[in-house]
Structure 1
Amino acid sequence: MWWEKASDSANLISFNEYPYLVYGRVSTEKDEQVSSLENQVDICRNWLERNNFEWNEKAIVIDNGISGTVLLARAAMQLILEKARKREIKMVLFKSIHRLARDMKDSLEIKEVLLAHGVRVVTIEEGYDSLYEGKNDMKFEMFSMFAAQYPKSLSVSISAVLAAKVRRGEHIGGKLPYGFRGKDKKMVIHEEEAEVIRYIYDLYNNFGYGFKKITNILNEGLRKGEVLGPQSKDKWQVTTVQRILRNPTYCGVFVLNRYTKIKVGGRKKQIENPPEKWVTFKDHHPKIISIEDWEKANNKEYTSNKTRITAWNEFRGISKCSECGSNMVIVQSYKKKKDGTRTEWKYLKCSAYRRSGEHACVNHTPIQYEDFREFVLKRLKRKGKKISVDFGSNFHDQKKAEIKHLEKEINIIEENRKELIDLYIEEKLITKAEFLVKRKEYEENILRMKDRMFVLQQDEEVKIDISNIQEAFQQLENTEEDLRHAFEILIEEINIHPEGNVDIKYTFEFKGK
């Protein structure tokens, strides 16, 4: 049988006879130190050679810098599954189940797809080989469970170590907040920056200034050389001031376990834990401001008891300032009349100017949001009437051109392969050895090109949501509805100039009628 071991080198199983793939994955630089790609490949190569398989460097597929808990982002693994479905491979080798996946559901799903298409699965460290295990899945499931539990156990262990370090007053890594420096694993006060922190709290608590007013004062002092700027930035911003006033680090408090990562739809997402899960350490490091000052800043009554609701912006992320490239955001305002009634409106403003004033950007001529929306709708409807949209080639022309080129190259090689058969069988112009070498070269080139085509197509499927442009144009007729989705499909970017001029860049290719 083809799986029986050979007694000498003459009976090596060649790659062409038994096509296999060797899968490797590392997720971080730290992971690279203990389980490098070279190490994984070397272990798999050793197994192949011991079992009398011919080694082939081209059989290696790699997911580099991608977590084993996130299947959707792993293009190399998706390629393996696709080749299994096409029955182009007979075996896949993994150094361990940890490399295959660290989510039990993903591990079992990958194994089922491979086995269902006749692919032999080997994980070397666990000694699992589907050829000999048969239908006994207990071994694989047990090791998959251990692999899935490993990152959770590791997380608990790391949390315990971090908590011990925090109890000793050590800084546990990451960027230190403004006003602090690291020394002998401890947080120490940077006095010049600390003076700015105290100044911010004084302006907020004792003068009653808001975030924007404080930001303007700091930037004016920065311009005159009287105030230090924030780390890694050339000016103060509203969000920076807000973070400083909300950060308990400045009163000597350190909060552990505030955030966690969860898996949503095959991808990781960071969320904030409920406060009852936070672990708070008081007097962890020197205070820049007193606890009383911090509590006063964070218990302050704001201008209104009502919750301010940010206006819905159908152009968020699409409309940009032409001067600095920042997003244009909605600012709400109102005017109260003598009779008690008030007129409300909302207009667009550069977010950088809104955060930091003239130190960041220029003030735009006010454009009311409703007027802007009506203007964009008219431009789009006019385009929809005047152009003929080529829906088959609107997106990712470069990738489609490469796919088309690959298809052409494959057809040429196929023709060459047919001519090669004629040269060998009919015209007898080449030897059998020459024929086999050239045929192998053609087949490898075809496989390589098909793999590249798959990766290009897979990349589009995973990362790009291509919506129907024609449908988006139709949605524009319902002007009373939320048209955010339609705007996203039809518009790549809108640049708004300070004087009110607007440039629109569309996502679609068109030809004039």
Structure 2
Amino acid sequence: MKCVAYCRVSKDTSDQLNSLENQIRHYSELFKKKGFEGAECGMYYAKEGKEEIVKYIPAIFADEGISGTKLKNREAFKYMLECAYRKEFDIIYVKNTQRWARSVEDGAGILKKLKVIGVKVIFEDGNINNFDHEMTINILLSTAQEESRAKSAAVQFGIKKAQEQGKFTSAIPYGYRKENGFLKPISEQLEIVKTIFNLYLQGWGGTKISRHLNNQNIPTQKGKRWTQVQIHDVITNPIYKGMQVTHTVQNTDINVSETSYSDGEKEYKYKSIKKLDESDWIVNQIEELRAVSDEVFNEVQEENEKRKELNKRGNRQSNENIFSNLLYCQHCGRAMRRKKLWGWKRKDGTRNFGIEWVCVSHDTYHNDICRFRNSWHEDVLANRIKEEIDSIRNNQEKLDNTFSEYMVQFLSSEDVSDRMTYLEVNLEEINAEIKANLKLYTKNIIDDEQYKEQNDELQTQKKELESELAKLKRIDEAREEAKRKFHNYIKFINKIDLENLDNSLLKRIIKKIEAYTYINDKGAEEKDIMIIWNMLEKSFDDIFYKKAKNL
């Protein structure tokens, strides 16, 4: 009879009797003693960081340094099962049930399948096998599983206690080192972090920033080249405003789908990491770790969200011109295009020209899509924006009154329960509409474009409702955040140099500029703009625009 052995050892084991080399020697001698023939198949598997080490060892399958709680990464074990289903051997020797598996579901399930195809698994400790001692094996597997669970719980408890004390237990972010379990700042790296935030607010993208850092020969934490993903990780990490957030996920080691076998092919699917509710997070405010102010960090998050919305609409992020990604036609919703206006020709052959912004839809398709050209000279539009900014500066009292009205209407501690009920009902209605829209699409009643347009609008409404509902659940925190954001916005807008406006600066105070053309009482065309400011949110804008004519 042909047989193999399965071995699994920890890399840091101090018990040399159970080392991989000794186990190989032990099973080679055991095969000879029993009169069995070692199978030709075999595999050694280990992992060093991202590097996988695979070797061939006849009649031995060995996973080194791989946890026994999950089958996911036990490549030698999985390959052994493939060979078993191909009937390349008749017997598998294993020292004990802990080496086989620490999960009843995995261990017992696989043993049953091997029994069906006639492959015997012999556990040396107790001299038991899957043919004759199924109940005993299940008890041992259950005990091993509980021991593993208890050990995991103890480790997680220790990690959580360390996190509550302010210790950092994850990968060290750029700009810091670890000392006795606590993060400590590296001043020269945090200066680079400040540069990243500032460049992002100036309109630079992740690719451009990473290229700039690489050209300056500035390495990452691991001494490698920067990428767009790493820049995104920096600008979205609250550690840089001194907020150390831990205990956001938990290792569950739970198998969430059945293991399936088909002609020797199998699939293991696990979900061992569970995201925890925000209320379970451990948050430590450590000013020593701060790299940027709350104001700068929050502005970067808002800019990041705006760029995501641009990508969803298929628009490329740009800060090349003063109104790039800011100016839109209110009639059709499309962006407006920058064009040169050629004027009269001088005697010396040169021309006087200016710049105008026009609706993309009308400029491309004329009246077929949008009936208004909606053109604006760039200088005229820039002066109009300056007037609007100056108007805000000179009407501080009315702005404060608007903010007070907003606080009373949306963030008052009174009638919170009624407002939450109202929002929850609206949220249910929106979810029902989303499902109905999907149903229409799946039945081919509406096309891709109609579905996407309707779904985007519904998802935006849903997001707004969920955002307000979340704020009401933490009303006091939301009130303080709104005050901070409003006062910082006014403070910033008062510092603006109106003679040196640029795209990145405008994006810090303005979400969107909507230009439109209308017919007045005399039948003539007139033009106007609506500025959607970046002060707070849509609910504030609604109140603000009702009073805008009085500013």
Instruction: Give TM-score scaled by structure 2 length.
Output: 0.43
Instruction: Give TM-score scaled by structure 1 length.
Output: 0.46
